[in-house]
Amino acid sequence: MPNDMMSGPREGGGGVKRTSVISAVCCCLAVILQLTAYATLKAPFFGLAFLLLGCLLFHPRSPLGGRLELESFLLSFTVCSLWAGIAGVFSVYLDDPSQKGDPLWFFTLATETGAGLALDDIRGLTAGSGAVLAWRSLYDLSSALGFEKGPYIAVAFNTFIVSAAGVVAVKTARLIFGDDRPRAERLMHLFALCGIFWLFAATHMRDGFVLLLNTLLVHAWACYLMRPRLSAAALLLLASIAGVVALLYLRTEFLFLPVALLLAGGGAMFVSGQLTRPSGILTILLIVGAAVLCIPMMPSSVTDLLRLVTGQAELYGEFAKSLDNSGSSLGVTYVINQPMPVRLAAGFFYLQIFPIPFWSGFSEVGIYHLLKALNGIFMWFAVPLAALGACRSLQVKEKTRKSALLFMAFVYAGMTFAIAATSLETRHVGAFLVPLLILATVPDLRAQPDIRAHRMLLRAWLGMILCIHIAWTVLKFV
């Protein structure tokens, strides 16, 4: 394993200029598209307002900021705003059917149906009550300031939330790798190019909130694994408890996440050899303490939690089958209808390459299908890099860094298997993509061994995807 992870700061003035130019171009295009879509200056006004807020929060002189953090925020925010403008054009001029489902329902809840209702009352209407309450507060504030309640307000906020998750991702990478600018730039570019993050930011949906929450929990674990001290353990314990409470009002299907992260963290420390140190005893106590405190806040029994998970699996399975009245969907035939062991293995792989065929999202009118198709193409290139990163993580000598990287691999793999067993929805996997992207920053693309290994993996992966598309064509039409 190259010792590049131990190297000091690397400067990259050219990278700063490129990122600044891309951000400026995307910002200008976003303003033009939002003016075109909504025919009002209010739409870009809210976007620029949240852009300014982010610049203040993540400025190098801010306690939350830094040079890399600010660059990451600007790049992610402007790129996502560009796609938000495109989504607005789809909605207004193309009567986008994909924005008439959950996005319209959430907009109605935040502006009309949920007006005056308490948080628990809203929870009776939707599992995303926390997001609805945040949007409603934002709409009420804008209304008090004399602005009408347009969906672009919540979309601008969603863009801010997603971009903030990108900042947390960069902070996590810096915690693991130090001030390695090339790796940080790779991470911020991967984050800004991810189609599923564009979807979270550009539509009136709650997934951006879940993404930020998950990324914060992963960061809390990285802090502990890199510096396993009592203070870090206490903060992690508080974060785990807060995570359970937040998930109750954002996505109840993920209620098991804090406990799953505890298992992933313990497993990573065991594999890396950290459990033999005093920090191992602290980790065991942390797991026991978190379980004692978190489990009572979950559904009243393990049976209720299992019923919730299996109920979601049946719900999503029936929904997929309802869209396939002709029985022609290969995903339904070869994944959803398979016994659970086969479904887990096939579903895990399916979630890395969805959609099949990749052009299906380009043939349907709707920003939802378009962005999921673009995300599929993004995954073609991200997965081989992350797979190489997972292999290289096993070769890391420093136990704390090895634990943190293995934790990322365990979290992504474990949550993908869980989603393969339940919803089989790539949008849900998107909430756990940050660990995958951090693994994708592990390979040193300045070293010949990693360059050669990456090229070999990429060719093999793309060749496999080509073969799958050929097989799809044969099975579909022959």
132 DSSP 8-state letter: H
* pLDDT value, residue 313: 52
* pLDDT value, residue 298: 54
* pLDDT value, residue 356: 85
Q: DSSP for 75-107, please give it.
A: HHHHHHHHHHHHHHHHHHHS--GGGSSHHHHHH
Evaluate if residue 20 carries a pLDDT over 90.
Answer: no
334 DSSP 8-state letter: I
* pLDDT value, residue 253: 82
Confidence tier at 371 by pLDDT (50, 70, 90)? very high
Q: Give tens-digit pLDDT for 301-337.
A: 444 445 555 555 555 554 444 444 433 455 556 677 7
Confidence tier at 463 by pLDDT (50, 70, 90)? very high
| Cβ–Cβ under 8 Å, residues 295 and 307 | no
pTM, full prediction = 0.90
CA distance 77 to 48: 10
Lowest-confidence segment of 136-150, 305-319, 396-410 by average pLDDT? 305-319
- Of the two residues 280 and 160, the one the predictor is more confident about is 160
CA distance 188 to 78: 13
Q: Give tens-digit pLDDT for 243-282.
A: 988 998 998 888 888 888 988 988 898 888 877 666 656 6
- Of the two residues 125 and 335, the one the predictor is more confident about is 125
Lowest-confidence segment of 89-98, 111-120, 131-140, 404-413 by average pLDDT? 111-120
* pLDDT value, residue 72: 95
* pLDDT value, residue 1: 47
| Run of H or E residues at 51 | helix 42-57
- Of the two residues 141 and 262, the one the predictor is more confident about is 141
Q: Give tens-digit pLDDT for 27-53.
A: 999 999 999 999 888 889 999 999 999
Look at residue 333 and give its three-state secondary structure: helix
* pLDDT value, residue 287: 62
* pLDDT value, residue 172: 97
The stretch 189-194 carries a mean pLDDT of 97
| Cβ–Cβ under 8 Å, residues 151 and 202 | no
Q: Which two tokens stand for residue 214?
A: 């998950």
* pLDDT value, residue 302: 46
* pLDDT value, residue 387: 96
Compute, in degrees rounded to 10, the torsion defined by CA atoms 123, 43, 190, 411: -10
* pLDDT value, residue 270: 85
* pLDDT value, residue 288: 65
336 DSSP 8-state letter: I
* pLDDT value, residue 11: 46
Q: Using omega within 30 degrees of 0 as the cis cutoff, is the peptide bond preceding 151 cis?
A: no
The stretch 339-367 carries a mean pLDDT of 86
Evaluate if residue 216 carries a pLDDT over 80.
Answer: yes
Evaluate if residue 236 carries a pLDDT over 70.
Answer: yes
Q: Using omega within 30 degrees of 0 as the cis cutoff, is the peptide bond preceding 355 cis?
A: yes
Which residues are CB-contacts of 13 (< 8 A; sequence separation ≥ 6)? none
Confidence tier at 19 by pLDDT (50, 70, 90)? confident
Q: DSSP for 245-256, please give it.
A: HHHHTT-GGGTT
Confidence tier at 460 by pLDDT (50, 70, 90)? very high
Evaluate if residue 171 carries a pLDDT over 80.
Answer: yes
* pLDDT value, residue 49: 95
Question: Alpha helices of 96-206 — where are they, by DSSP H?
Answer: 102-108, 119-123, 129-144, 151-177, 181-193, 195-202
Confidence tier at 478 by pLDDT (50, 70, 90)? low
- Of the two residues 289 and 123, the one the predictor is more confident about is 123
Question: Mean pLDDT in the chain?
Answer: 85
Q: Give tens-digit pLDDT for 414-446.
A: 999 999 888 888 899 999 999 999 999 999 998
CA distance 85 to 91: 10
Evaluate if residue 339 carries a pLDDT over 80.
Answer: no
* pLDDT value, residue 473: 85
Burial of 340 (0-12, 13-18, 19+ CB in 10 A): exposed
* pLDDT value, residue 380: 96
| Cβ–Cβ under 8 Å, residues 160 and 84 | no
